[in-house]
């Protein structure tokens, strides 16, 4: 990995984390996207899952944006980020309803007011209510708000989800096989259930995105917004202000970086409820981005040769940083964040459903048998090839 990302204190692949947990039990379906355990209620026909994720360093960006503009509403988007990073992971094992959610909010009380915390909680409630209208029911069970200023300079917003699913309905990525097509659902644009244009950034790669794009003005004004362990000159080394217009869109760079993570729940609930769908696997392209799929299935080569055009924000990051093109695909979703592995008939059905919600989709590639027993990913774009 290049210095452009790792020296900012973040890892795209988290290989050291995967190494640390490699000997841990993989659950009832070892090849599934999330770890599934024996059912908490003791029903042998069901399994249970408890899953944790959060908005990451995006909350630090919301803090700067609020200080610069006075717009507190962006903290509501952070709550959506924290929710969707869990929700869409669980969609990948086939769960579309009956979620129970707990929240953990850690703040520095000198900088994050009670009004900001209220905005975060309202963000959770608003998103949960919107999902309920699509038949995706999330119960908010409470949580913890801790004043941990000795550990946190601004704000951390995390969530934990619990759900149950019949074993017969589990989507198991171990079933991804040669011959599957890869249907991608776009991360950018404006879905019918979104309030404004979404840049597609989601909640991955934000440490890199904000430091590589945003001006050193913010380094000097808000030293509390980044780690003191980052090399001098690496923090906020870009040239853009939060209020600058993002070329090719009608939103600012700040709003683009803070676009709330898009959920695919309305689309996938409708698809998974359709008896004609035949899905081998679902992969949420978060940590590891376009190379994420390499971690699933056995003896497979994932060929991605028809990707979406690179959305404006990702172009801006690439043009204003020294992250190489290969690494861009390993850090950022680059235009799609959900992949459906299926037959062509199901891909057509999924595309029709996605279009109802104004979410672009396309078959971006296919799965074939690898030359050896190892998984690999090959991306072909603009006459270049990148192998992972």
* Per-residue pLDDT tens digits of the chain, which is 388 residues long: 445 555 665 555 555 655 666 667 889 999 999 999 999 999 999 999 999 999 999 999 999 999 999 999 999 999 999 999 999 999 999 999 999 999 999 999 999 999 999 999 999 999 999 999 999 999 999 999 999 999 999 999 999 999 999 999 999 999 999 999 999 999 999 999 999 999 999 999 999 999 999 999 999 999 999 999 998 889 999 999 999 999 999 999 999 999 999 999 999 999 999 999 999 999 999 989 999 999 999 999 999 999 999 999 999 999 988 888 999 999 999 999 999 999 999 999 999 999 999 999 999 999 999 989 899 999 999 999 999 9
Burial of 136 (0-12, 13-18, 19+ CB in 10 A): buried
Q: How many residues does the chain have?
A: 388
Q: What local confidence, expressed as pLDDT, does residue 7 receive?
A: 60
Q: Tell me the CA distances in angstroms from 199 to 79, 89, 253, 254, 340, one per residue in order.
A: 17, 20, 9, 11, 21
Identify the pLDDT of residue 11. 53
Question: In the prediction, which pLDDT does 233 show?
Answer: 87
Helices (H), the chain: 3-6, 15-20, 58-69, 74-91, 114-132, 206-213, 217-221, 253-257, 265-272, 312-319, 325-331, 344-356
Owning domain of residue 235: 3-387
What integer pLDDT is reported at residue 1 of this predicted model? Answer: 42
When divided into structural domains, the chain yields a total of 1
Give the whole-angstrom CA distance, residue 287 versus residue 330: 8
Q: Say what the pLDDT of residue 6 is.
A: 55
For 53, the token pair is: 């994720």
Q: In whole angstroms, what is the distance from residue 258 CA to residue 194 CA? A: 14
Q: Which domain CATH number covers 23?
A: 3.90.650.10
Distance CA 190, CA 196 (A): 6
Q: What is the DSSP letter of 367?
A: E
pLDDT of 34: 96
Question: Where does residue 293 fall: left (phi above 0), alpha (psi -120 to 50 degrees), or beta otherwise?
Answer: alpha
Which of these, 244, 250, 249, lies nearest to 69 by C-alpha position?
Answer: 244
Contacts of 313 (CB under 8 A, 6+ apart): 188, 199, 200, 201, 209, 246, 253, 256, 257
CA–CA dist 211, 331 (Å, integer): 14
């Amino acid at each position: 990995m290049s210095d452009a990302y790792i020296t900012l204190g973040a890892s795209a692949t988290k290989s050291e984390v995967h190494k640390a947990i490699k000997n841990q039990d993989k659950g009832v379906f070892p090849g599934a996207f999330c770890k599934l355990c024996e059912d908490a209620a003791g029903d042998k026909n069901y399994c249970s899952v408890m899953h944790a994720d959060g908005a990451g360093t995006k909350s630090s960006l919301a803090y700067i944006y609020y200080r610069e503009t006075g717009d507190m509403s962006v903290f509501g988007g952070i709550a959506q980020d924290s929710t969707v990073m869990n929700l869409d992971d669980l969609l990948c094992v086939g769960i579309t309803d009956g979620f129970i959610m707990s929240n953990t909010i850690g703040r520095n009380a000198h900088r994050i007011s009670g009004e900001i915390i209220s905005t975060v909680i309202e963000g959770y409630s608003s998103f949960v209510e919107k999902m309920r209208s699509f038949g995706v029911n999330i119960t908010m069970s409470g949580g913890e708000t801790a004043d941990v200023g000795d550990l946190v300079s601004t704000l951390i917003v995390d969530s934990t989800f619990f759900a149950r699913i019949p074993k017969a309905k589990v989507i198991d990525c171990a079933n991804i096989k040669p011959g599957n097509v890869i249907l991608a659902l776009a991360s950018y644009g404006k879905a019918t259930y979104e309030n404004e244009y979404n840049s597609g950034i989601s909640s991955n790669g934000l440490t890199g995105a904000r430091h590589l794009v945003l001006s050193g003005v913010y380094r000097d004004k808000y030293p509390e917004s980044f780690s003191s362990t980052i090399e001098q000159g690496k923090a906020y080394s870009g040239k853009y202000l939060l209020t600058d217009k993002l070329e090719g869109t009608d939103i600012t760079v700040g709003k683009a970086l803070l676009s709330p993570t898009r959920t695919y729940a309305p689309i996938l609930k409708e698809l998974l409820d359709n008896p004609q769908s035949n899905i081998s696997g679902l992969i949420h392209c978060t940590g590891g981005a376009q190379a994420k799929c390499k971690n699933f299935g056995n003896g497979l080569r994932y060929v991605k040769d028809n990707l979406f055009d690179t959305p404006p924000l990702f172009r801006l990051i690439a043009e204003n940083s020294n992250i190489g093109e290969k690494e861009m695909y390993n850090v950022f979703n680059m235009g799609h964040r959900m992949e459906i592995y299926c037959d062509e008939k199901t891909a057509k059905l999924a595309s029709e459903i996605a279009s109802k919600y104004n979410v672009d989709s396309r078959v971006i590639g296919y799965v074939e048998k690898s030359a050896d027993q190892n998984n690999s990913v090959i991306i072909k774009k603009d006459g270049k090839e990148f192998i992972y």
